Structure 1
Amino acid sequence: MAQWDLGRFVQTLEYFEAIPVVSWLQNMFQPRPKPLTSNETVLFDFNDSATDLKNTWGALDDVVMGGVSNSGIRLEGGVAVFTGNVSIENSGGFASVRTRNFDPPLDLSNRSGVELRIKGDGNRYKFLIRDSDGWDSTGYSYSFDTVAGEWMTIQIPFAQTVPVFRAKTVLNARLATEHLRSFQLMLSKFEYDGALNPRFNPGTFRLEILSIAAY
């Protein structure tokens, strides 16, 4: 049985500023993600050599709940590649990458949603949006299927996102599109409220992302 990795758990908390003293130091000495204004269409262009992936996107896997899944994101051939191994050992079953909180928050109140240009591996993924500062907070989720090896454009209407907290739906929640704080991409064995992802298979995965835009 794979062993839980305490070091990776602490690294995750540090990156997402969940440890107060570390968060204070990071705010002083590390650059914060600065997405484009809402007047711009493309929020992330991973074909742009100026993309600061290291200080913007980080892994947030089931290690935070005792699991052993492992993922990461890197630039490769003009795209961002979200890849790794998702395991159901230790009651785990999800891997994800997420932005640190945008500073200032992103105002997309004049847009309908977010559009991804992606190439997947046949898995069903989730895209989550948060409007809260907390790293463990309600996310607004949208599930989408991929076709192995094919480039696809995925539109995510704000109005069709599902408010969730740890894969359980949250009643009477509304996404504050004028105050968006972070984005997240996830592969999970869980859908919502105990239902399972019908296309989930544990093991290695790969999702390529060319861009994230508003529409």
Structure 2
Amino acid sequence: MIIFDFNTQSDISNWNTINDMVMGGKSNSAFTLNDLGFGVFSGMVSLENNGGFSMVQYNFETKNVADFTKVCLRIKGDGKTYQFRIKSKASDKHSYIAAFKSETDWTTIEIAFNSMYPAFRGKTLNMPNYEGNHMEQIAFLIGNKKEESFTLVIDSIVLK
């Protein structure tokens, strides 16, 4: 199942950035399509005013994902660590999270659903890992407890 396959005609209006400004921080980010049709999440993470994260999230209609066991991210990054996040319901407070280190060449990152742990505001919750039944939101987040610029280029997000 294809969650998103970027191309020059992609509608990215349901992709939204959220930065630590929601809690007084100074980080900033943008999500754009480049000339080749890839999604580009880029910006600057700042620790000023107790900040420290930038995120881009994609909301969509509920998908039944019970027939799948993993997500495959075709990406090219900057060597930094990011989080991939899933929400069963967009209204859930918690996300299911998996961290990955990006590579500077195109690579496919495979993340098993059952390896994604539940967390809220940086704290792991005492709940089961992602069971992979429903999905309404995915996100990429960078928050490595340091000031840094970042660029993550996304080709596709596919469930297998």
Task: Tell me, yes or no, whether TM beats 0.5.
Answer: yes
Q: Is it true that 1:43 corresponds to 2:3 in the alignment?
A: yes
Percent sequence identity over aligned pairs? 36
Structure number, greater radius of gyration: 1
User: Is the Cα–Cα contact under 8 Å of residues 96 and 184 in structure 1 kept in the other structure?
Assistant: yes
What does residue 126 of structure 1 align with? 83
Runs (5+) with no aligned partner, structure 1: 1-40, 191-200
What do you get for the CA RMSD once the two structures are aligned?
A: 1.5
Q: How many residues align?
A: 159
- Between 109-118 and 165-174, report the one with greater CA deviation: 165-174
Give 1:113 shift.
1.2
Q: Secondary structure at the match of 2:49?
A: helix
Taking the aligned partners of 2:83 and 2:149, their CA distance within structure 1 comes to: 16
Taking the aligned partners of 2:151 and 2:82, their CA distance within structure 1 comes to: 11
Moved over 6 A (4+): none
Runs (5+) with no aligned partner, structure 2: none
Higher relative CO (Cα under 8 Å, sequence separation at least 6) belongs to 2
Taking the aligned partners of 2:130 and 2:105, their CA distance within structure 1 comes to: 31
Q: Secondary structure at the match of 2:64?
A: coil
User: Is the Cα–Cα contact under 8 Å of residues 16 and 56 in structure 2 kept in the other structure?
Assistant: yes
> What CA deviation, in whole Å up to 9, does each residue of 1:75-127 have, x standing for no partner?
00220000011101001100010013x22x01111101111000000100000
- Tell me the TM-score normalized by structure 1: 0.70
Q: Comparing both structures, which one devotes a greater share of its residues to helix?
A: 1
Q: Is it true that 1:66 corresponds to 2:31 in the alignment?
A: no
Q: Comparing both structures, which one devotes a greater share of its residues to strand?
A: 2
Q: Is it true that 1:109 corresponds to 2:66 in the alignment?
A: yes
What does residue 158 of structure 2 align with? 213
Q: Secondary structure at the match of 1:96?
A: strand
